[in-house]
Amino acid sequence: MDASSRILVFGEGISFAHVSRAFMIAQTLQSRGATVRFVSSPRYAEWATQRGLDARPAYTPDAEKVYSRLRAMRAMYTRREIEQSVRADLAEIEAFQPTVLVGDCRNSLRISSELSNIPYVAISNANCTPWFAGTINAPAALPLNRIVGKPRVDRYVMPWLGGPIQSLACRAMNQPFAQAQRTFGATRPCRDFRVMFTSDDLHLLADLPQFQPTKNRPAHAQYIGPLFWGDDTEHKSATEQLLDQIDPAKPLVYLSMGSSGLHALLESTAPVLARLPYQFVVTTAGAAAFSQPADNIHALPFASAPQVLTRAAAVVCHGGNGTVYQALSHAVPVIAIPSFFDQEIQADQLTHHQLGLRLEPGEAADQLATALDTVIAQPTYRDRLPEWRSWMQQWNAESNAADAIEQFIAPASPATPTATTSVPLTSA
C-alpha cells in the first residue's frame, strides 16, 4: 500500500466506540503508507488531530436524540439527518478524492458511495446484520411485553414469531433511510435496516465469532476480531493515583456507562453501592456526578480501563461492545444494564454464555447487590472466562482490518486475517 491509496475514514460521532474503531483502522492504514483522512464530529475530529491523523469535522446527528429514539424502538435517524449527513459526506469526498470509503456506523455512506461511485467498506457488529445467529429476545420496548410480560414473550412468542417481529421493526426503522434514498435518486435495493447496514462492498465484523456468531454470511463479509480502545495513556496517571488509594483486600468493581448508556443510573444506584462490601471505580464521562459520595465510591470523568480491569472482580456497564470486549479480554464477568436493543442483545449473549448477567434499568437499584454477589462469588463465571480471554488474544483486529482493506484495494495481494482461533472465518 502506498500514498496513491487514498482512504477516507468516517467514525460516526454518536459514540466513542464507533469513533475509536474507525480511528484505530485509519492509524494502521496510515502506518502502512496509505494517504488517510479521518472524518468525524467536531469534538472527535479534534481528538483525532491531536493523535496524529489528518482529520476533518463533519455534520453528525445529535447523539442524545439518536439514543432516545433507539430506546423507544424508533428509527435511528430522521430523513433530514440522513440527507444532511449525505451532503456532508459528498463534500468530504469531493475535497479528498478517495480511492475507497471506510465507515463505522456512518449509515449515510450507503447512499454517498453509490452517488460518488466509490467503493465502501463498513465496520459493524454481527448483531446489526441479517446474518446474526445468536439468540434474539424481545426488545424491552416491545409493547407486547407490557401485556403478557417480557419473560413470557421471550419464551413463547419469540421462538415462533421473533423473525417476523424483527423484520417488521427493521422495515419501520428503515423508512427515513428509504425516503432519503429517493431524495438523492439512489437505487441500490434496501428492504430493511439490517440490509441498509450491510449494503457495502466489504463488510468487517469487529467481533469474536464465539460471542457474536453468524450464519449464511456472504463472501464480502468477514470477521476481523474484537476492536476496542485500549490506549488510555492520558488517563494513566490519574488512574494509578486512584487505585493506590483503594484497599486491595476488598473486591473492586468497575462501573462505566460509556458514551451511550443511561448515566442517570450512576446517580440512582449510588446509595446501593455505598452499602456494599466492594470498592467501586466509576467513570462518568463527564455526564454525571454523585450527589451522595461514599468512602467506597471513587469517581473519575475518565480512567485507564486496562489498569482498572487488571484489579477488577466485576464490571457493571451498559452492555456496549467496547466495554464488554475489554472485560472479556481481562477475564472479568459483566453485569450489563442495557438501554436499547443493540445493548440488550450483547447483554443476552453474556447471560447465554454465563459470562455475566443482565439487569433492566428500572430494576438495577434493587437487584445490583445480588447480581454482584453472584458473579463475584460463584465460580461458574470465573471458571469460564479464561478460555474467552484466550480466544480474544488470538485476534489482531486493526491489522486484520488493514489487511482486508489492502486486499480489497489491490486484489492481487492476498491477505489472511491474523487469528489462530479454531473457529472458521467462514460462517458455520
Higher per-residue confidence, 323 vs 340: 323
HSE (side-chain half, CA atoms, 13 Å) at 402: 21
209 beta partners:
none
Q: Among 163-177, 257-271, 323-337, which range has the highest average pLDDT? A: 323-337
In the DSSP assignment, the letter for residue 153 is I
Report residue 81 as a C-alpha cell: 439527518
pLDDT digits (tens, 9 = 90+) for 60-105: 999 989 988 988 888 999 999 999 999 999 999 999 999 999 999 9
d(CA 372, CA 250): 13
**What is the three-class DSSP state of 36?**
strand
Q: How confident is the model at residue 214 (pLDDT cuts 50, 70, 90)?
A: very high
Give the total residue count for the chain. 428
CA distances from 308 to 45, 259, 356, 392 (A): 27, 18, 18, 18
**What is the three-class DSSP state of 362?**
helix
d(CA 302, CA 239): 9
d(CA 229, CA 245): 26
At 260 the pLDDT is 56
Report angle CA 43, 68, 184 to the nearest 5 degrees. 70
pLDDT digits (tens, 9 = 90+) for 329-381: 999 999 999 988 889 999 999 999 999 999 998 888 889 999 999 999 999 99
Is the pLDDT confidence value at 259 over 80? no
Mean pLDDT over 157-176 rounds to 85
At 411 the pLDDT is 62
The residue among 424, 391, 345, 403 whose CA lies nearest residue 129 is 345
Is the pLDDT confidence value at 215 over 90? yes
Higher per-residue confidence, 258 vs 182: 182
d(CA 22, CA 357): 29
- Whether the CB-CB separation of 346 and 338 falls below 8 Å is answered with yes
Is the pLDDT confidence value at 263 over 80? no
Within 8 A by CB and 6+ apart from 80, the residues are none
All structural domains of the chain: 6-226+395-409 (3.40.50.2000), 233-391 (3.40.50.2000)
In the DSSP assignment, the letter for residue 226 is -
Helices 42-50 & 16-31 angle (0-180, nearest 10): 40
Q: How confident is the model at residue 289 (pLDDT cuts 50, 70, 90)?
A: low
- Whether the CB-CB separation of 14 and 25 falls below 8 Å is answered with no
Q: How confident is the model at residue 421 (pLDDT cuts 50, 70, 90)?
A: very low
pLDDT digits (tens, 9 = 90+) for 376-411: 999 999 899 999 999 999 999 999 999 999 999 986
At 290 the pLDDT is 57
- The phi-psi region of residue 76 (left if phi > 0; otherwise alpha if psi is between -120 and 50; otherwise beta) is alpha
